[in-house]
């Protein structure tokens, strides 16, 4: 896009965000080749009308020289004349040359190239190339309505090309902790001594991060699903984030998205991929475009990791005691057996949701260790990392710190543990915390 047109968009960003109706523009912008289907889908997923309008204007600046006049045409065609006139005021006259000779049948117009073309590794089935969106790097907006980009503390590496989630609502959002400690005899599962220590730490930590924390203890499978369903029906429109923490026995299950499952105290399990489905964009519209975080302190299976030998320089002092226990249960054959016809929000066949992060205490298939006196390795480490680093570091960076520290531990002087995450976040996430 021409620099003068970019400046016109930036100068009128507040009016565009306030008054633009993006939904009426999508078909026209697609037909004229300004955006591709993937780009339109990304804009739609950004959230409210205002958020979609803001994202549309940002993306428009990355398109070719014909994007601005074609955008004006779309505004006129959809009756948004005031905005069209506003953008034309002071802009040089633009005469569009037809992309192809006029014919009775309109030819397919290829999408406009981005300002700095990049290689792409695949094309659409109809052979129309899909160009990645390049975000403006650091162009300031003169309008009072600024994007939610968290100020960078002194010394933090530059990540100007990556946006940050809005995380300034007060309270920030809901945090549901399900803590299963005492299991019914018929479940043949042992009680989880030390889990209450984990629960207390996490309750205090997320309250300190300005979340509304609710703790539920010793839930059966059906009760777990009922609590998640109730959470999905809450109105989250005034909040910026939602957190679910599962503390229980776990097992490995077959899956097509997120591995693992957690047990109710009745010995019936709930697959992690079904847990995440309750809060995805389809089942919880008020959380669309907002981060949804899941922390799973449970085994991913029954295999014990003895690690492998490394040079002494790679080894740090390890912790762990003779009394460490695991939350492992043998692998279950299917994760789909829990889906029932009357539970639409528990289906495992929905598209992969965006803005979701699932953090596991251990690698899929392996046990997770818990000290009966100090709590689990994973929660103890994560609580301390959040306390020390939440004011300056984003969530993914802090989870990497957790991964590193837990990997140094040893149970009974032999067994290891490796946490990890399935990350579908689109932006950096910084919690509300005091420096």
Phi and psi at residue 431, to the nearest 5°: -70, 160
Residue 124 per-residue DSSP state: -
Active site residue 299: yes
Q: Which residue in the list 74, 172, 199, 299 is annotated as catalytic?
A: 299
CB neighbour list of residue 414: distance below 8 Å, 6 or more residues apart: 306
SS3 readout for 54-104: HHHHHHHCCCCCCHHHHHHHHHHHCCCHHHHHHHHCCCCCCCCCCCCCCCC
Q: Which residue in the list 174, 249, 255, 283 is annotated as catalytic?
A: 249
Active site residue 242: no
Task: Report the distance separating Cα 364 and Cα 259, nearest Å.
Answer: 7
Task: Report the distance separating Cα 70 and Cα 112, nearest Å.
Answer: 11
Instruction: Decide: residue 114, CB within 10 A, 0-12 exposed, 13-18 middle, 19+ buried.
Output: middle
b/e string for 255-291 if b means 16 or more Cβ within 10 A?
bebbbbbbbbbbbbbbbbbbbbbbbbbebbebbbbbb
Task: Report the distance separating Cα 205 and Cα 390, nearest Å.
Answer: 11
Other CB atoms within 10 Å distance of the CB of residue 142? 11
Task: Report the distance separating Cα 284 and Cα 290, nearest Å.
Answer: 11
Task: Report the distance separating Cα 88 and Cα 103, nearest Å.
Answer: 29
CB neighbour list of residue 46: distance below 8 Å, 6 or more residues apart: 52, 54, 55, 289
Q: Which is nearest to 425 in space by CA: 171, 241, 177?
A: 241
**Upper half-sphere CA count for residue 240 (Cβ side, 13 Å):** 17
| H helices present in 217-288, as ranges | 221-232, 272-277
For residues 112 and 33, the answer to whether their CB atoms sit within 8 Å is yes
Residue positions annotated with a catalytic role: 249, 299
């Amino acid at each position: 896009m021409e620099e003068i047109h970019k400046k016109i968009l930036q100068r009128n960003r507040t009016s565009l965000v306030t008054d633009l109706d993006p939904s009426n523009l999508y078909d026209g912008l697609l037909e004229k080749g300004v955006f591709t289907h993937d780009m339109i889908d990304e804009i739609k997923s950004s959230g409210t009308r205002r958020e979609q309008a803001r994202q549309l204007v940002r993306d428009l600046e990355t398109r070719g020289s014909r994007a601005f006049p074609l955008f004006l045409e779309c505004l006129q065609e959809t009756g948004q004349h005031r905005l069209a006139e506003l953008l034309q005021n002071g802009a040089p006259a633009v005469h569009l040359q037809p992309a192809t000779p006029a014919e009775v049948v309109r030819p397919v117009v290829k999408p406009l190239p981005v300002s700095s073309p990049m290689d792409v590794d695949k094309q659409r089935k109809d052979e129309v190339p899909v160009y990645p969106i390049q975000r403006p790097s650091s162009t300031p907006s003169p309008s009072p309505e600024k994007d939610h980009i968290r100020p960078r503390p002194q010394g933090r590496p530059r990540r100007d090309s990556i946006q940050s989630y809005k995380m300034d609502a007060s309270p920030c959002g809901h945090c549901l902790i399900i803590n299963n400690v005492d299991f019914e005899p018929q479940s043949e599962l042992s009680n989880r001594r030390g889990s209450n220590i984990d629960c207390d730490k996490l309750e205090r930590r997320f309250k300190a991060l300005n979340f509304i924390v609710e703790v539920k203890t010793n839930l059966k499978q059906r009760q777990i699903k009922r609590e998640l369903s109730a959470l999905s029906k809450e109105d989250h429109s005034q909040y910026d984030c939602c957190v679910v923490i599962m503390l229980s026995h776990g097992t490995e299950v077959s899956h097509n998205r997120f591995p693992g499952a957690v047990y109710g105290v009745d010995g019936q399990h709930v697959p992690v991929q079904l847990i995440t489905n309750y809060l995805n964009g389809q089942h919880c519209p008020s959380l669309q475009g907002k981060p949804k975080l899941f922390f799973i302190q449970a085994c991913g299976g029954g295999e014990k990791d003895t690690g492998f030998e490394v040079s002494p320089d790679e080894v740090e002092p390890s912790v762990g005691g003779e009394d460490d226990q695991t939350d492992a249960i043998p692998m279950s054959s299917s994760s789909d057996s829990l889906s029932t016809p009357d539970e639409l929000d528990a289906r495992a066949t929905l598209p992969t949701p965006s803005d979701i992060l699932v953090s596991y205490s251990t690698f899929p298939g392996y046990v997770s260790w818990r000290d009966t006196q100090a709590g689990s390795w994973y929660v103890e480490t994560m609580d301390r990392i959040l306390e020390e680093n939440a004011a300056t570091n984003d969530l993914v960076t802090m989870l990497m710190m957790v991964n590193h520290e837990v990997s140094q531990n040893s149970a009974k002087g032999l067994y290891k543990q490796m946490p990890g995450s399935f990350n579908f976040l689109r932006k950096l996430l910084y919690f509300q915390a005091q420096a």
